[in-house]
Amino acid sequence: MDDEKNLTEEEDTQKDKYLTFSLGEEVYGIDIRVVIEIIGIQKITNVPEVPDYVRGIINLRGKIIPVVDMRLRFRREYREYTDRTCVVVVEINDVMIGLIVDGVSEVLDIQEKDVVPPPELKAAQNKYICGIGKLAGSVVLLLDWEKLFSEDEKEMMESAGGDETAEK
């Protein structure tokens, strides 16, 4: 019973917390509960026959993880990686994926009352946004991490990352 209570309290402390990162001029936020870690850009091994936004795979302490360039995922222009470029490692439905972003900013506490629905635009990119966090003088586009990748894409990335059940 105490373990259940502690787990609920731990989840509550992470509620409304978002890791913010930049892609060009825009600032995005992703629910901190799906973020595993943040690492610098490292050697990426290309994988054949994957969409262009899947840059390849990396070896993270023995785990093979597919990495996605979020600029390309959002149909933006490719930009050379710099010393500010980071990989945000997330776990989405038991699949670990690295999200390549221009730079990580900070963890922000954005209360539900400060989040508004995204405007209804015809842009395809809007489907990845679950809300807009209003901050003093700026906004954060909050990603709907459950919609970032379709089931087919998740399966493809899971197979690109190797079969982790073989290691167990």
- Reduced to 3 states (helix: H, G, I; strand: E, B; else coil), residue 54 is strand
Average model confidence (pLDDT) across the chain: 85
From the list 39, 38, 58, the residue with the least C-alpha distance to 162 is 58
The pLDDT confidence band at residue 53, using thresholds 50, 70 and 90, is very high
Question: What pLDDT score was predicted for residue 81?
Answer: 95
Question: What pLDDT score was predicted for residue 38?
Answer: 97
Rounded Cα distance between 42 and 29, Å, is 23
The pLDDT confidence band at residue 153, using thresholds 50, 70 and 90, is confident
The pLDDT confidence band at residue 168, using thresholds 50, 70 and 90, is very low
- According to CATH, the topology of domain 16-163 is OB fold (Dihydrolipoamide Acetyltransferase, E2P) (2.40.50)
Residues 7-26 pLDDT 10s? 555 556 778 999 999 999 99
Domain ranges of the chain: 16-163
Rounded Cα distance between 18 and 140, Å, is 10
Backbone torsion region of residue 68, taken as left when φ is above 0, otherwise alpha when ψ lies between -120 and 50, otherwise beta: beta
Residues 92-129 pLDDT 10s? 888 899 999 999 999 999 999 999 988 776 655 568 88
